[in-house]
Amino acid sequence: MEKLVLEGSIMVETTIYSNDFVHLYLEEEEIWLKVLKMNYSIQALNDALKEYPRISMVHFVALKAAITNGISSPVKVGILKPKIELSISSDKMTAHALINLTKQEFDGSDKKTLIAEIIDLAVEESISYGVDIKGILQVMKPLEKFEIAKGDPPISGIDAIIRMYEIKKVEPSLIQDGNVNHYEMNLINKVDKGAWLGERIEPTMGIMGKNILGEDVAAPNGRQEKLKYDAASVTAFYDSEKNKTILYAGRSGAVIFDREIISVCNFIEISGDVSFHTGNVDFDGFVDVKKSVDDNFSVIASYDIQVLGDMGIGGVDTIQSRDGSIYIRGGIAGKNKAKIMCKGDFYTKFASDCIIECEGTVNIGYYAMNCTISAKEVVLASSTSKIIGGVTKAVVRVEVGELGSKAGIQTRVVLSGFDREQLKNEYDEMAISIEKIKDRLEHLKRNLSKYAGDSIRAEEREKYEVIQEDYHENKKNLELLLKQRKKYTSYLRVKGEGEVKVNGATYQNVILKMRDEMLVTRDFSGLPTTYFLENGEIQTN
């Protein structure tokens, strides 16, 4: 057996490996094989060639045929690899070397000479940046790739960051303070002129990189985001020191978002009572009454109305919100005159001797007495809440602590109910629409990411703005669908096709009418009971 250390280009036949079965030799950097005797395995040859890392058997089919068939004439089976191989990544940001020496050969080599050879190869490949000789010396090893050069990657600019005013969640709180019950919430998001409404930290410029060939690598600038605001009611100011655009309220009013556009709507604050001093109020906007509304006076508004006096209201004429909700903090003692109407939801501490008509949910803290109520849902949140007398009409559900009274005052609850199957189908269709819109938003988001901030060319800007508008339109539709789905989820939790849920006692002389079915309670029941409509009949559990 003969073993040779292979150095440089060899132009004559040189024996690499020989035994009784095979003769392997090198000629002009090509590996040739002669089979001397049959019954020699390829595995045995592979084991022997582990000592020759520069040999690469690239013609495996020819090798197998020669050994299997005992071909004695020379067969080309491989090539001689260079002692050091260099590879450059496709992005030209890194280069790696591979030293084709055994560990014994590597340990016996002069490391400075090896590094010099690596540097020479790097120069041949035009690598001029990011070569770390000390680093190479530390990581250099045989038969494993190691990094010899690394460029500076470009640093993308930071996208614009937007933070906006948050609309407070409309959620009443029931508070017991000694012997006094409070019903607290905030319906209107009021701001004064000059109040902060939002801000955009502007995108930053990208930082240029450099590859290992010494070439500059462009860095994308951060992507700009559009601040959506109503210029008539909101002022934008650019703070150059902080590199941010800040939105301020251009006037005092109520903050709303419409199609993701923030604006400050018309708002009137009445510091005292609505009375002879103010006259009736009919306002295109939001109305905030700090005290009360005198008997026989009206407050009508396009949007939300809140009456914040501790004493609530009495025998008013009308409180009406055409497109919003109403909050009456202190409750209603209506004197059989007061009428409350709203398109959204209604909130109050208590109600008596009044008419309430609401397209959304009527929320009452403690009791409703001798009222005529009509709504999608009627919810009395307190565990001690009561509905006594009057007529309470709902489509989906009524929930209360106690229904009726010890005195047996006739109390009527009318539930029109809903078509559960139709509602479920609409809910399922809504879920499909939501997923489609989410997919659409992801698609639009990917398209928007192709445009990098102020680097958008003029001819592309119109297309970019169309995509951006489509994105915001779909995002708004998604928000509306999610909000609607939340309501549907609440409706579908109801038993049957509508329910009256009594969390405490039900007294005698309560009349429950569900579609064409009627039930009259004859006896007192102290147990929680749910009455629901199923298969055209009133069921209980």
Reading the chain (541 residues) residue by residue, the pLDDT tens digits are 334 444 444 446 788 888 989 998 888 888 898 999 888 888 888 888 888 888 888 888 888 888 888 888 999 988 888 999 999 999 999 999 999 998 988 999 999 999 999 999 999 999 999 999 999 999 999 999 999 999 999 999 999 999 999 998 888 887 766 565 668 888 899 999 999 999 999 999 999 999 999 999 999 888 888 899 999 999 999 999 999 999 999 999 999 998 789 999 999 999 999 999 999 999 999 999 999 999 999 999 999 999 999 999 999 999 999 999 999 999 999 999 999 999 999 999 999 999 999 999 999 999 999 999 999 999 998 889 999 999 999 999 999 999 999 999 999 999 999 999 999 999 999 999 999 999 999 999 888 877 755 556 667 778 888 888 888 889 889 988 998 898 899 899 999 999 999 999 999 999 999 999 999 999 999 999 999 998 889 999 8
Residue 462, classified by CB atoms within 10 Å of its CB into exposed (0-12), middle (13-18) or buried (19+), is exposed
Assigned token pair, 139: 């990581």
The model carries a pTM of 0.71
**How many CB atoms are located within 10 Å of the residue 72 CB?**
12
pLDDT at 110: 92
Q: What is the DSSP letter of 527?
A: S
- Report which residue type is found at 159: D
At CA 184, angle to CA 178 and CA 189, rounded to 5?
A: 155
pLDDT at 288: 95
Tell me the H-state helices in 125-193.
133-139
Q: Write the CA distances from 424 to 13, 431, 501, integer angstroms.
A: 85, 10, 21
Q: How far apart are CA 135 and CA 308, in angstroms?
A: 73
Q: How far apart are CA 67 and CA 20, in angstroms?
A: 13
Name the phi and psi angles at 349, rounded to 5.
Answer: -70, -45
Largest CA distance in the chain: 123
Q: How far apart are CA 121 and CA 359, in angstroms?
A: 80
Q: How far apart are CA 157 and CA 151, in angstroms?
A: 19
pLDDT at 178: 56
Q: Write the CA distances from 400 to 352, 355, 362, 365, 482, integer angstroms.
A: 15, 18, 12, 10, 27
Place of tokens 């010899």: 148
* Residue among 304, 351, 305 at smallest CA distance from 330: 351
Residue 109, classified by CB atoms within 10 Å of its CB into exposed (0-12), middle (13-18) or buried (19+), is middle
Contacts of 526 (CB under 8 A, 6+ apart): 504, 505
CB-facing half-sphere around the CA of 77: CA atoms within 13 A: 28
- Report which residue type is found at 538: I
Long-range contact list for 227-232, CB < 8 A, 24+ apart?
227/162, 227/198, 227/200, 228/259, 228/260, 228/261, 228/262, 228/472, 229/197, 229/198, 229/261, 229/262, 229/263, 230/261, 230/262, 230/263, 230/264, 232/263
